[in-house]
Structure 1
Amino acid sequence: MKYRKLGKTGLQVSVVGVGTWQFGGEWGRTYEQSEADAILGRAAELGINLIDTAECYGDHLSESLIGNYIQGNRSDWIVATKFGHRFHNRFERTDEGDPAEVILQLERSLQALRTDYIDLYQFHSLPNVVFDRDALWEALDRQVQAGKIRHLGISIGSNENIHQTSRAEAVGAEAIQVVYNRLDRKPEAEVFPSCLEQNLGVLARVPLASGLLSGKYKPGAAFATDDVRSRRDRAAVEAQLVEAERIKREEVPSGTDMAAWALAWCLKHPAVTSVIPGCKDPAQVEANAAAVDLVEAGHPQDVR
């Protein structure tokens, strides 16, 4: 495994992390504790130390599965979670941006994760009107001072949300999470230059384009109704599948696993610290970690 410094946080994170939205039950299946343990256990064996989750991946369900696993080895992990949404049912959430409500969410996340601190607590894709509430960031800063939060971050909803990105330093955030992959390069225009200017760590979510860059799906593929991908615009998904086929044919070197190539492609950008792909089982953890073999040295955030 290779490690990079997450911007000005100083946290040394594995370049491949574990995304855990799937633990919340919205990617076509549910998870038992033993299955989550197997995924996280294999990640640990491979040197992965970064877990990304959220309050609304289930009603703190993903956090609970993680918490049960890490309670005996908490110091081995850098845990990133998020705030700002309340889960009601599958695919049904409401925004929660009131400072008092956010602090209650923090307490529930700490309880679910079975820990007394969160390494990276991220504003979760809420609109700018919520982001601009000074009272919210003041309340969060008090939690940082109390030791419940080590670092604050922003998970931007739009890949082009330069408003929130450019104000990261002003609100005390030290990392940005953004959708970035070979099919979606929008952050390169404004978001990444702002991150570099502010020395923000960058977590690239959806680096495999929700699996479309895994090499497993062909044009015409369909997804089950309990899979979040079934809710996306069908024509847009089909266009991405066609483009993914072209990329596989023209850009991925012969004999190279497409998923590993796609993750390593993200990690080449000088702004990107780590990728946080989801994984349904230990085999996918191994496939994701294999991207490290394709990552060249010399990145500005490399741990030397």
Structure 2
Amino acid sequence: MKYRRLGKTNLDISVIGIGTWQYGGEWGKDFGQYEVDAILNKANEKGINFLDTAECYGDHLSESLIGDYLSRNNREDWIVATKFGHHFHGNFERTRHWSANDVLKQLDASLKALSTDYIDLYQAHSCTDEEFNNDELWTMLDKQVEKGKIRNLGISLRSNGESYQTDHASDVNAGAIQVVYNRLDRKPEENIFPSSQNQNLGVLARVPLASGYLSGKYKPGATFSADDVRSKHDSEETAILLKQVEEIHKNEVPEGVPMATWALAWVLKHPAVTAVIPGCKTPEQVELNAKAAQLAEDNHPQSLK
């Protein structure tokens, strides 16, 4: 495994992380504790130390599954990131809660669910610019950093096309951002990445496999079942994406390299990116994802010697 310093934070994180939205039960599968344990055990075995979750992946459900594991294993082995700003109300339904008092309650609930005294990276979750511009909120969060409940602040961006929150990340003492970035969506390269590099912000790339389109499993003409979120995508756009993927596989992916592994490594090669956080449903997926660390270039500016 490779490790990089997450921007201006003091966190040395594995370049491959574990995304955990699926543990909240919204993706067609309910995870048992034994399944999460197996995934995290495999991650630990492969040197992965970074977990990304949120209070609204289920009603703190993903956090609770992770917390149960952490309570029985060495908390210090893990860098845990979670998020704030929402309450879960069933499948893909949320209400937004951004007052300082509401977020403090969310923080305490997350600490309890995660069975920990501190959160390594606490991220504003897909907030609007109006919600972001809240001095009372960020002042409260700074106080929680001083108290030791939070070690670092971050921003999980709502949009790839606007850089306002990235541009003002340092103003609210955020040391990292999270953004959608993959071979099919390179929008962050235009404004978000340059702003991040200018401020020495860590960058976490989510959806690195483009919702599975870059997994190598799907050919042009593929269809998706009604319970698959991709079935809700525009059919013409899906057809265009699958054609793009076919061309990428033909022209860019080295022979013998799984496309998913290549796609993760492709993201990691950008000098602004610190780590990728693909979702993992099985220990086998964790193992395949971990192999991407070896494909990424060793001379990355954030790589640790």
Q: What is the TM-score of this pair, normalised by structure 1?
A: 0.97
Aligned pairs (5 A) from 1:1-304: 1-71=1-71, 72-304=73-305
> What is the distance in 2 between the residues matched to 1:128 and 1:178?
15
Deviation readout 1:188-243 (Å, 9 max, x if unpaired): 00000000000000000000111110101223333344443333333323321221
> What is the distance in 2 between the residues matched to 1:230 and 1:55?
26
> What is the distance in 1 between the residues matched to 2:239 and 2:155?
30
> What is the distance in 2 between the residues matched to 1:227 and 1:122?
28
Aligned residue type for 1:239: I
Contact 1:26 1:226 in 2 (8 A): no
> What is the distance in 2 between the residues matched to 1:109 and 1:229?
30
> What is the distance in 1 between the residues matched to 2:181 and 2:192?
11
> What is the distance in 2 between the residues matched to 1:80 and 1:261?
25
1:245 Cα deviation after fit: 1.3
> What is the distance in 2 between the residues matched to 1:2 and 1:222?
36
Residues 232, 111 of structure 1: CA spacing in aligned structure 2 closer, same or farther, 3 A cutoff? Answer: farther
RMSD over equivalenced CA pairs, Å:
1.1
Aligned residue type for 1:218: K
Residues 86, 233 of structure 1: CA spacing in aligned structure 2 closer, same or farther, 3 A cutoff? Answer: farther
Aligned residue type for 1:65: L
SS in 2 for 1:176: strand
Structure 1 unaligned regions, length at least 5: none
| Percent identical residues | 63
Aligned residue type for 1:163: Y
Residues 272-281 or 248-257, more deviating: 248-257
> What is the distance in 1 between the residues matched to 2:297 and 2:274?
13
SS in 1 for 2:80: strand
Q: What is the TM-score of this pair, normalised by structure 2?
A: 0.97
> What is the distance in 1 between the residues matched to 2:128 and 2:187?
18
1:29 Cα deviation after fit: 1.2
> What is the distance in 2 between the residues matched to 1:171 and 1:16?
27
Aligned residue type for 1:94: T
1:27 Cα deviation after fit: 1.9
> What is the distance in 2 between the residues matched to 1:229 and 1:76?
35
Residues 236-245 or 172-181, more deviating: 236-245
Aligned residue type for 1:288: N
**How many correspondences in the alignment?**
304
> What is the distance in 2 between the residues matched to 1:108 and 1:231?
33
1:249 Cα deviation after fit: 1.1
> What is the distance in 1 between the residues matched to 2:237 and 2:61?
30
SS in 2 for 1:75: helix
SS in 1 for 2:64: helix
Deviation readout 1:65-111 (Å, 9 max, x if unpaired): 11111123110000000001111000111111111111111111111
Deviation readout 1:148-197 (Å, 9 max, x if unpaired): 00000000010122100000000110000000000000000000000000
Contact 1:20 1:62 in 2 (8 A): yes
Contact 1:28 1:224 in 2 (8 A): no
Aligned residue type for 1:58: G
1:273 Cα deviation after fit: 0.2
> What is the distance in 2 between the residues matched to 1:226 and 1:67?
29
SS in 1 for 2:87: strand
> What is the distance in 2 between the residues matched to 1:110 and 1:222?
41
> What is the distance in 2 between the residues matched to 1:101 and 1:224?
38
